[in-house]
Structure 1
Amino acid sequence: MKEKRAFGIFQDGLNIKVAQLILSNGIIKVESLDETILSSPLFREEEEIKDEVLPISPEVEDEDFTDLEDLDEDAFELPDLSDIDQTEDIEKLDENGDEVLPGQRELQNFLQIFPLDRGKISFSANDEQITYFKFDSDFAKSGLKKKLMKEMLTPKEIKSRNFTLGYIQNPNKSGLAFTHRGRFQLFHALRDINLVLSKERYFYSYIDPNEISLMNLIRHNYEFPADEFVLLLYIGIDYKVGIVMRDGMHIKTFPIIVPEADYETTRQAIYSKVILEQDVSDMAITKNVILIGDHVSDSDIEFFNSKAMDGDLIQRLTLKKLFIQEGTGTHITEENIARFAIPIALAWKTLDPKNKDFYHCNLLPPKVIENQKYFKIAWHGYFVLAGIFFMAYHGTVSNLVIKHDIIGFQKSNASLEIELSRNRGMIVKLNEIKTRLTELESNFEKVELLSGNKNLWYYILNTFSETLAANPISWLGEITSNDTGFDVSGFTTSRRSIITFSELFPDGDISSIMKYEVEDLTIWGFEISYSFPEARLIKQKDSPVTQLTQEISPEEEVEQEIIEEPKVEPKMVPKDDTITFISEDQLLQEALNDTEESTTRPVVPDEMITRDYRHILDVYFAGDYQAAIRLFDEFQQNYDYHDLSYDALYYQGECYFLLNKYQDAIRIFTQVYNKGKYKSPDALIMLGNTWEKLENYELAKENWIRVIDEFPSDELAVSARYKIEKMSGN
């Protein structure tokens, strides 16, 4: 029996994983697993692609191409590279002088180790370009594909035909649809690489979403009780997701978004997200957990098992029906099998396309599928072809020679690129030396500039003197300088004065603030770092304090807040007094709280609001729910006009729920629902969960029914039905 090979290629951020499988004597085996990390993306983000979009032609728009697996390799007549239009695309790139990006060059060098022209290739779809839509059995009664296009795409997108659509269906006719917009980066990059690495045209088999690949492995290698939930927990570099299945069917998918932190904190945040998802959805998803991806080491298994409840089963993915080719070495371990799960699934489906356990869907553009199909013509067609051939022969011979030379030049260029990559380390070192020399030259210029201006320190000290005079009971302790700036330490009885001091010179950075309690007086110690002001811009001019005083009109002076500072002589701080360290953000917030509310709301940058919100989420995910409640409440008071204030209100309700403060949780979730925004279905689910905890099952059921009635297309409606059925069964 002829051996067949397949290659699965999976991209996770800049990480590329490739699995090479072989079908020999009816047995599928792993031949090779390898990966690389690119230094840059395959394409520039702003790059516009012309003549590379593969639209769906009207003739094939409604065709189903899932029967591609029925065609053998021998049934395809693959033309020489000179016969396909892909070379014309490369010629356009050469004529325009487009530069080959480092990521494309590195991918080309990496793929040279695989015999891609001797098998079929499958890819993972770009996850960030896919949108999903869950539909029920009523939706799928008739005209499913047209309904899905109308539901998931705008008329403009449908008209552009720059998309591919696929779906899977469960036995009850419900299912999951997915649409990929734009081009497939891996596919287009490999088309270009094909021209350099091989004269044979590569054969492309499938492009599947990551969720489909992972579910295929579970359906084919595991058997679970039909009434038990199974959680596939895939933790990769950029791609992190949880997939819930039951009885071999897709139930739901939830993203796993965790803040960047150390390894232990990340694992804890992942576990907290899973537990919260289980509590919110009221599904026992931790009963069977399968770990997949880059976090499947023995220590990861041990960590999650230490958190598991009695009766929960947490294990690393194992593929019992997959074998390992002899002589492949020891690098193909159970841990690597779990890490390379997605590319393995892609290659496996390519070698066994008729497997009933695999979902039969394909996002490969229909035009590519059509171009790879073998076709036959009638006897009279040969006369037509002969006439066309003789008419075009003389015009194409010279063109074929030129294209052949181009391929030769590209191969020579690839060899030079490999040689150049060996010297890349030396080039990097030379660039580092060049950068260092530039920095030294810049420093010399600064020193020369500063040393040539005698007014610099006079300007600095004079500015401090005038500012201290305008801010009574403030004094400096020490001023020290360095190559690029200077540091100042001092004391004041007014917290707002510290902010004024930080704005005197460029790049003012408050590095520390300390609070001293001396008898009945509060003294604030501070340390601030500055950059030197540009010496050539320093002239004999009024200080900022004087200018500020001159610019205030009498009317504005009346409206300003008058703050009388106590006139107390500075005292030394006793060693046994309490010192409290306060961050710059806390100082800003306290200063705002001490100032009476203005008639005009201060404009706070959106980046600062988002940063504060993410900080509170870190506290929430760390499990400090009491502190999170306080911070969420302060956030709503400070930024009640911002959209994130609504999200903060909802998560405050979850904190009360997790602390068993159910009456407070009911109050908060009711407010969330009454606002009528996008968290309304979540609020109704949580209201039902809260009343269930209080054993008021009628009110719990009433809130779940409202989810189904008011939000029938929301995925939480499925959870609501399940909760009602479960409660009715009990």
Structure 2
Amino acid sequence: MKENRKFFEKLAIGIFVEGQHLHLACLAGKEKRVRLVDAKILKLNRNLENVPVKEEVLSEVLPEISGESAPIDLTEKILDTPWTLEAAESEDDENAELIYQLLQSYPNRKNKIAISLSEPQIYYSYYDSDWGLSGKKLKEKIIEHLVREKQEGEVIQPDAVQVVNLRDGRLMAVVRDHEVRLLNLITHLRTRRRLRPPLLCKIESAETALVNLVNANYSFSETEISVIVYLGHEFSRLIFMQGHEIYNISYIIGAGLDSENINHTIFSRIFLEQDNLNLPQIQNIILTGEAFEVGLKDFLSQKLSDQIKIDYIRLSHLEVIGNEPLVCPFAVAIGSAWSILNQKEANQYDINLLPQKIREEQKRFKLGLVGWILLLLLPLVAFFSTVQIGQYRRGISQLKIKKNFQQEELSYLQAIEMRLNVRRKRLQNCQTAFAVVDSMSAGANTWSNFLYKLSRETRQIGQIWITEMLPQSQSGVLLKGYAVYRSRIPQLSQAMGGGALKRVEVKQIRNRTVYFFEMEADLTSRNK
């Protein structure tokens, strides 16, 4: 393999984590040409798929238990302990240093990284029905089922689940664990050692990376049954395909390169899975991983029919600089890097379980041509804006002065209007009085003559006086009064034009006899 060096072109880097082994493949692509730039397998100091716990922390969590003690539920206590993944990362110095040196070889931020993970950091869950749902509602339903199966209180985020439709109609949920240790190490290096790693583009499963790589380099008919065999250092796995679609992903085989009889194990597992899935004849078996090291092709060729095509993976669209290496061990890492360079290829499973938080943290503000032009024009725009703001302020000040002056004029005019309203009210009262006087002027002379005559007659007759005068009709008046002598009453009646006497009563006023009378008189009677 080529030694690491600083590259000055855009690269796609695929990383596959398998226990203590880290597989790396670096590809460079231009148009439809893809070439292998670098590939290696690194042995880590500690398994990245397990979260290490300090022994002294556990001793603090677990008290001494006597034989008579009741059982203790450790789950809640362990989850509440103060140790974190960052503390574990700080202790894993050798792994951190190795990954730091690895990422330093690709310093260009335009380079991109895709990470493939295996169980237990990624696992699969199968469902026979979609409950008549699709899209976001279907994902929420699957997350609800996953939470029931997991530990109590564990939260599964939507960005940790993607749903794949299988060939037999089932649904396969690809689920990422809530903690990805490699991501934690990269985050630790970025914050503590100011590492500027390439852009993290995606996280997918090792199985989907292999399927995408095979689909990009092989052509199958729709009914053709193929098996992708991955033989790793620590585990193995079988992927069954019908055409270019996933039919089933087998349970993980807990045996790898160093296991005895690994060839027999894989051979028997192929037949077992075929029987369980009730599959017809297998046409193709594609070998990946460390299959070449154990001679798996020769072993299976002796055991299986000649009609089955058995071979190590062939990448017809991959160019290799210098001597062509055996790419079989790097198939998963190559598949991850390939998915970055060829995102629009047909028959590809678009699986990306990268946490949304990391996606947001990596977003960068980009300026195009128009953006740079606007940036250069910003000082000029700021200057003109400052001038315009000054002009607007002066205009506002002038408007405020004008407004205050007009408010003073308005107050003065309002005071004048109030005085005018008072004068108008007085004028209205005078007009009303004049109208009353005008209405009374028609009978003023008649009343004046009547009153003059009444005053004269009472004065001439003497010892008689009028106390009340009431209008009775248009020309009649009711007179009420008193007389000292009874004989004076008829005299007044005759003097007032023969008024009709209504009644006469004898009354006592101050021990003296007087005569109260009522009579009707005519206003129109003439004076004598």
Q: Same fold (TM over 0.5)?
A: yes
Q: Distance in 2 between matches of 1:131 and 1:266?
A: 23
1:6 match: 12
Pairing 1:341–2:331 present: yes
- After superposition, the Cα gap between the structure-2 partners of 1:157 and 1:121, relative to the gap in structure 1 and judged at 3 Å, is farther
Pairing 1:239–2:235 present: yes
Pairing 1:371–2:361 present: yes
What is the letter of the counterpart of residue 148 of structure 1? I
Taking the TM superposition and a 5 Å limit, the aligned residue runs for 1:15-414 are: 15-42=21-48, 44-46=51-53, 98-115=90-107, 117-136=109-128, 138-139=130-131, 141-142=133-134, 143-154=137-148, 159=155, 161=157, 164-169=160-165, 174-194=170-190, 200=196, 202-257=198-253, 265-284=261-280, 286-297=282-293, 299-324=295-320, 326=321, 329-330=322-323, 332-333=324-325, 335=326, 337-374=327-364
**RCO greater where, 1 or 2, for CA within 8 Å and sep 6 or more?**
2
2:481 match: none
RMSD: 3.7
| Overall identity of the aligned pairs, in % | 25
Taking the TM superposition and a 5 Å limit, the aligned residue runs for 1:327-726 are: 329-330=322-323, 332-333=324-325, 335=326, 337-374=327-364
| Partners of 1:18 and 1:34 within 8 A in 2 | yes
Give the Å deviation of 1:141: 3.3
- After superposition, the Cα gap between the structure-2 partners of 1:280 and 1:159, relative to the gap in structure 1 and judged at 3 Å, is closer
Give the Å deviation of 1:18: 0.6
- Structure number with the higher helix fraction is 1
| Equivalenced residues, count | 332
TM-score when normalising by structure 1? 0.41
- After superposition, the Cα gap between the structure-2 partners of 1:237 and 1:201, relative to the gap in structure 1 and judged at 3 Å, is closer
Q: Distance in 2 between matches of 1:136 and 1:97?
A: 40
Q: Deviations over 1:138-168 (max 9, x none)?
A: 4353321111111222496575749711122
| Partners of 2:239 and 2:248 within 8 A in 1 | yes
- Structure number with the higher strand fraction is 2
Give the gaps of 5 or more residues in structure 2: 1-7, 56-84, 383-528
Deviating more after overlay: 147-156 vs 10-19: 147-156
2:402 match: none
Q: Distance in 1 between matches of 2:33 and 2:272?
A: 42
Q: Distance in 2 between matches of 1:260 and 1:217?
A: 22
| Partners of 1:165 and 1:180 within 8 A in 2 | yes
TM-score when normalising by structure 2? 0.55
Give the Å deviation of 1:193: 2.9
- After superposition, the Cα gap between the structure-2 partners of 1:240 and 1:23, relative to the gap in structure 1 and judged at 3 Å, is same
- After superposition, the Cα gap between the structure-2 partners of 1:299 and 1:376, relative to the gap in structure 1 and judged at 3 Å, is closer
1:621 match: none
Q: Does the residue aligned with 1:276 lie in a helix, a strand or coil?
A: helix
What is the letter of the counterpart of residue 104 of structure 1? A
| Partners of 2:18 and 2:234 within 8 A in 1 | yes
| Partners of 1:245 and 1:251 within 8 A in 2 | yes
Q: Deviations over 1:64-104 (max 9, x none)?
A: xxxxxxxxxxxxxxxxxxxxxxxxxxxx979x995443322
What is the letter of the counterpart of residue 368 of structure 1? I
1:428 match: none
Give the Å deviation of 1:201: 5.2
Q: Distance in 2 between matches of 1:37 and 1:221?
A: 29
Give the Å deviation of 1:220: 1.6
Q: Deviations over 1:89-141 (max 9, x none)?
A: xxx979x9954433223333344444464501111134213332223564353
- After superposition, the Cα gap between the structure-2 partners of 1:104 and 1:373, relative to the gap in structure 1 and judged at 3 Å, is closer
Give the gaps of 5 or more residues in structure 1: 49-91, 387-730
Q: Distance in 1 between matches of 2:253 and 2:168?
A: 32
Give the Å deviation of 1:17: 0.9
2:508 match: none
